[in-house]
Amino acid sequence: MSDQKSKIEVSSYKGRRIPPVLKLFLTLALLGLLVFGALLGQVLGGAHDDISGDPQVMVILGCQLHDWGPSVMLQDRLDKALEYLASHPDMTVVVSGGQGENEPAAEAQGMADYLADHGFARENIILETQSHNTHQNLVYSAKHLEEAGLDIKDGVVIVSNGFHLTRAKMLAGRAGYENVSVLAAPSSHTPTRLKMYVREPLALVKSFVFDR
């Protein structure tokens, strides 16, 4: 009798059921991780130098400016640009970035000073000082180049940290640039680099939807 009762109990036990709400939460969490992973793959896939043809114009995207000069991330971008400009000294360079509330001056001004202090001709630098995000960087820089008589369809090289370039290329296409090349600056400040690789996939979605 005892054995029969035990068999009935075993056969009737079907495990602890997961509440429907928890199932939904776990499913959505898994889908979110898969989507984030795909977006991170896109970001990582664009984080490398890619020069096409012989662009005559460079746009350097701004980043935090401190009282003592460019932040580490911005200095990485400027140093990467200077490496390329050493063998292309006649390029026209747009430095793009406005002044944030916690910045002593427009990022573009600090960038221009840094390039000039490191030997690049100041007369070849155009300052774009009104932008406050990547979309504005590229749209406003395009206007400055057109006002200077330069055609943004002839080719441009965009300089930023590697994690930023997938989004920058997408927004450059929307702003009318063609034949877009990129230079991927390193990200020397490790905590910031890790934070940006978490943030950038989300920023890619935001820019895809809203920055038009």
Q: Which residue has the tokens 């009104």?
A: 130
In the three-class reduction of DSSP (H, G, I as helix; E, B as strand; rest coil), residue 198 is classed as helix
Closest CA to 198 of 163, 170, 171: 163
One-letter identity of residue 184: A
Distance CA 116, CA 106 (A): 16
Q: Where are the domains of the chain?
A: 57-210
pLDDT digit string (tens) for the chain, length 212 residues: 555 555 545 555 556 777 877 777 777 778 888 888 998 888 889 999 999 989 999 999 999 999 999 999 999 999 999 999 999 999 999 999 999 999 999 999 999 999 999 999 999 999 999 999 999 999 999 999 999 999 998 999 999 999 999 999 999 999 999 999 999 999 988 888 888 888 999 999 999 998 88
pLDDT at 14: 56
Local structure of 55: helix, strand or coil:
coil
Inter-residue contact 199 to 191 (CB < 8 Å): no
* Neighbouring-strand partners of residue 156: 180
Handedness of CA 153, 158, 163, 168 (dihedral sign): negative
CB-count burial class (<10 Å; 0-12, 13-18, 19+) for 40? middle
Q: How would you label 170-191 residue by residue, b for 16+ Cβ within 10 Å and e otherwise? A: bbbeebebeebbbbbbebebee
Distance CA 189, CA 161 (A): 11
Tell me phi and psi for residue 186, to 5 degrees: -70, 170
- CB count within 10 Å of CB 67 equals 8
β-pairing, 65-66 vs 69-70, is antiparallel
Handedness of CA 15, 20, 22, 28 (dihedral sign): positive
Looking at this protein, which amino acid is placed at residue 1? M
CATH 1.10.3720.10 describes domain 57-210? no
Instruction: Return the structure tokens found at 167.
Output: 């989004």
Residue 188 confidence (pLDDT)? 86
